[in-house]
Structure 1
Amino acid sequence: MRAAASVAVLLAVLLLLPGQALAQEVGEVEIAGRVEHGADAASFDPAQARVTLNVLEGITLVSQDSALPDESGAFNFTATAVEGRTYFFSVEYQGANYSAVRDAGDLSEPVVVTVFDTTNDTSVLTVQSHTVIVTGAVPDEGFVEILERVMVRNDSDLTLTPDLNAQGPAMLSFLRFALPPGAYNLDVRSNITGGQVLEVDRGFAINSPVPPTAPGLPHQFEFVYRLDYNEPVIDLTRTMRFGAESVRFVVPVDVATPSSARLTDLGATELNGRLLRLLEGQDIAPAEVLPLAVADLPGKSAFDGARESAGEWYVRYVVPAVVGLTTAALLLLSLRRRRAVAMAGASREHLIAEARALRDAYDRHTIGTTAYEGRSRVIRDALVQAEVRDRLTEADGEGSTRD
């Protein structure tokens, strides 16, 4: 009984505590690091770089400090090491930001941040792959939802930075993506931190610097949008400004029929009970016009019949996971589940990673304040629940031992 009562009291106290109270302080530590140049070390002047340390607990900024590296590139910070906090180091150099992340237990290891000289020439970029997926249609409201995933390499030793002073609407020094006319509800995500999404003619641009990539680790960009339709056909043709080494066009066969004179139809494969048709092509030249279209989109009558037999309808997001295609092989896809559904039982480490990604998205202005605050509350609540689960598990174990 005493063990049960202790658990009940612990639960009540934990639920009343703010998230910060769950962290455990380890102590004050000296953090050493250095800024290195990734190419021409001889001409590198560390005085041009500025280092900032942001300490985060979940998605809350706890403290911020900055320092200038010495002539060798070395820098130091003094910080309080607290379990559960994230230590985010960023270096600004020639208008681009570079970063490194540490947990409290890793602060004794030297922090090394590599920087590069910059360029406004977008020819340093190569689109490794571009995948277009029609994820679903809502005939009752007359729209389709489309997901695109683009893998971009920078094989040079220069970081692409947009020329913010360039005149004209073209934004030629920006990383840009085309969108079909009438696209709306755009949501953009990437593994590049910082920057903003800007509307441009026939698409959008990202003003984030694009640093060189390591072999096998391209930059990833993912964006979702909607298109209204009144007819059963939608034209998705676009100009591939950067070209692409490979292009894939994926459409569920129960949603529409894909077509492209430039791509090869590789047939259909089943994934999670759904048949997906794949079209694929290689070596798309820069500025080449890529014809894409879908036909046989469902109308309201077809939707009503499906709803009567299937009950509740919902659109599934299918995130492409391309895993090695041969001549006869087809695309394998993994299902993306909404993050909020998995929050309740997520581990503490997973929730902290989610919080990090959410903060990055907010800083890049790819989500609004209302959405950010709503998701923040979900993550904070889940972090408290995760801590409660851990404490209850420990308490139950102690109670069993005493019994």
Structure 2
Amino acid sequence: MAPEPVAPGPVLPGQSQTPPPERIPPAATGEALSSALNEERVVLASSAVIEGIDTDRPWVCTGEAMTLSARVAGTPEPDAVMRWVWPGAETGAELHPGARLPWRAPATPGRYFVRFQLCKDLGGRRVGVLAERVAAIDVRACGQDEGQARALRIEATQQGPSAFAFRAVSPHPATTYAWDFGDGSSAATTEPTATHAYALPSPGEPDVRVLTVRLSARGDGGERTATAFVQLRGPPPSDTPPRARLQMERVVARTADEGWRSKVQVDVPEGSAVTWERVERLTVSWDDQVDVQTHPWRELITVEEDLGRGGFRGHVTVRLSDVRPEVKQISDVLHGRDTTGEEVSLSWSAFKAEPARPSPLPAERPPAK
């Protein structure tokens, strides 16, 4: 099996870094972590991209804390969840939500691997992985004066919804400070302080944005660098009810002539209306390869009753011819738009195969006399 991509360490402006291929330990693979979390891992096709993972220091001493932050790009996926997973010392896996991770190094030095994922709940124990990336962390056994206490660091204080004050902290004096605020803005100061106001997330952007702040301090002792992260939150969500709700009968019945049939009901609340456009059918094989096919929504969904405003009651069918031996799961994503043009999507699992049980070995025949 080819090694998984590992995110490089922090990269300063003007630098480039391409890490050599690195093999992920068995306990840190996506399959092992999903098993430890009692999940069924399903790899989904997605346009979401994890551009990289930043850390606030290039390495860390045993027992010390460091912060990691993921940079996400591409088209946002509805209902996508950001999370970090990694092997636990006492449990099979640890989990932390969000784009930023405060991670404490274990007591044993070595190379450790933390995995960032964009996921979607597919119902039951099924978790769809839209994108993921692994960060390798170098944990060292440090002497008394080798820890982070004497390293340059950034203290960030939020002074308003989007305003921050930054202070460089280090026992080594510096004469110039070059600040990169992570949004394309920068500043140069002779004092170890700086302030900056960010633009809040716009409608359609993620509710929470994490930006990477980098500092380069120059003095008699040469140049030192530090990294910190700030988190911006958009306006709080309104009390507006969801634009569409899904109810599905998860007991899937197999019919002799058609295949597997599931009952689906979509309710659209008063004051809203949805026009459905298409259904993406994701066929996942046992080796986690994904085939995506797009159909007109009424081609895959049989509407039995129109409930108004885009709501309906009907059923979805997976034909016998679509369920080949290599197919593990089939999921559907219903896409449409409301009256404002915003996209609305609902998803469900239309078929799930059970793992094949190995056939018992035939009993050995006694040797011929």
More helix by share: 1
TM-score of the superposed pair, with normalisation by structure 1: 0.21
Higher-RCO chain (CA-CA 8 Å, sequence separation at least 6): 1
Q: Which has the higher strand share?
A: 2
Provide TM-score, normalisation by structure 2. 0.22
